[in-house]
Structure 1
Amino acid sequence: MTGVGVLVVGLLLCFAGVASLHLAVLASGFALGWLVAESLGGSVAVTAIVAACAAVVAWILSTLVFRAALLVVGGVAGGVIGAKFYGLLEGGDGNVVIAIVFVLAVAVLTGLATQRFHETALVWVCAFGGAGLALSGLARIWPSTLGFLRTPDTTAEAVIDAAAWIALGALGWSVQRRWLRRKATSKA
């Protein structure tokens, strides 16, 4: 059941993240909390609690820091991207300190890019952050078949995981770009 929830949140972020800043913040916070707690070996219950808390904290931060909301959203969703990318590079054998530094670095860079380039970057960040979380959800639903989508063990699994992540992220990006274009033409 937990995989289904993670999959749904990931797909919402991937395909509708730019539609609502609140949705993007909550989904990104949940995703970051889930991926970090899961990678540190938390049980399903602890991981779910950490993810829910991270979602609330991310939402509170973005609400309190409205002027820097894009920085916060981009940073949180960038953390999801960093966690997914680190998982692809290291599999399941990575050093916790290096993982945290890597995720934070990607989060800060992504947050700065989102603050600078606004919706253009937000579409990319939401699409690829959501795609990474959705793949982790699929891995939880079918661990014996698709478990490698969470932590690939071989080079072939990492290549397949990366290709799936890129394909789903690109599809999410395409859907969100079309939504933004329709929104822009309806305002004109």
Structure 2
Amino acid sequence: MSGIAVLLVGIVLCFWGIGSLHVAVLAAGFGLGWLIADLFSASLATLFLFALIGAVASWVVTTLVFKFSAYFIGGLTGAMAGAKIADVLQPGENNWAMSGIVIVAVAVAAAFLADKYRARALLWLTSIGGASMILSGLGRTTSSLDFLAHPSQGWEQVTSTVLWIALAAAGWLVQRRLFPDKLRIQSDEGAKRR
């Protein structure tokens, strides 16, 4: 059950993230809370609690500081990507300090990118963050795919990373096709008429 919930939220974020910033904030906050708690093998109830707290807290903070929403969403999705990177970099036992450094570094970099490049950066960041949630969700649905959530051996890390990149690219393509107006991309027909 828990894997399916994360998988569904990941799909929404990866393939619909730029379509609605409210949905992106809730999904990114949910994912961030989940992935941080999952780094330390928390129980299912704790995972959902952290995920719900993350979703509500991120939505409230973003609503209060809407002017900085791109920066905040970028930071949230960057933190999600950082949590996945920390998991890939540390096979086996995860170190709190190392995980914190990676998560904060990626979150800050992503926040600045999102603030500077707005919709285009958020397109990438929601795709990357959603893809990390999809892999974590798939890893929790069946034991044969557990390596997607927690890769430990070399081939598992490579496979998980390649799948992460492929899913993020697919999310980027889908969002780019679905929401060209939000990205201010001219359609091929509009470009041909001019």
Aligned to 1:54: 54
2:41, 2:154 → 1: CA distance? 23
Asked if 1:150 is matched to 2:129, the reply is no
Aligned to 2:172: 173
Q: TM-score, normalised by structure 2?
A: 0.92
- How far apart are 1:17 and its partner, in Å? 0.3
**C-alpha RMSD of the superposition:** 1.4
2:35, 2:135 → 1: CA distance? 11
Aligned to 1:82: 82
Whether the aligned pair in 1 keeps the contact of 2:85 and 2:102 (CA below 8 Å) is: no
Asked if 1:70 is matched to 2:62, the reply is no
Partner secondary structure for residue 19 of structure 1: coil
- How far apart are 1:182 and its partner, in Å? 5.4
Q: TM-score, normalised by structure 1?
A: 0.95
Whether the aligned pair in 1 keeps the contact of 2:84 and 2:132 (CA below 8 Å) is: yes
Asked if 1:125 is matched to 2:125, the reply is yes
Deviations 1:117-176 (A, max 9, x none): 00010000000100000110000001x210000111111010000010000110000011
Q: Name structure 2 gaps, 5 residues minimum.
A: none
Instruction: Give the count of matched residue pairs.
Output: 186
2:69, 2:130 → 1: CA distance? 18
1:35, 1:128 → 2: CA distance? 14
Q: Name structure 1 gaps, 5 residues minimum.
A: none
Amino acid at match of 2:156: E
- How far apart are 1:85 and its partner, in Å? 1.1
1:157, 1:84 → 2: CA distance? 13
- How far apart are 1:92 and its partner, in Å? 3.0
Deviations 1:81-117 (A, max 9, x none): 0011111111232311110121011101101100110
Aligned to 1:18: 18
Aligned to 1:137: 137
Amino acid at match of 2:144: T
- How far apart are 1:180 and its partner, in Å? 2.4
Aligned to 1:105: 105
What is the aligned-residue identity percentage?
42
Deviations 1:39-59 (A, max 9, x none): 122110011011001100000
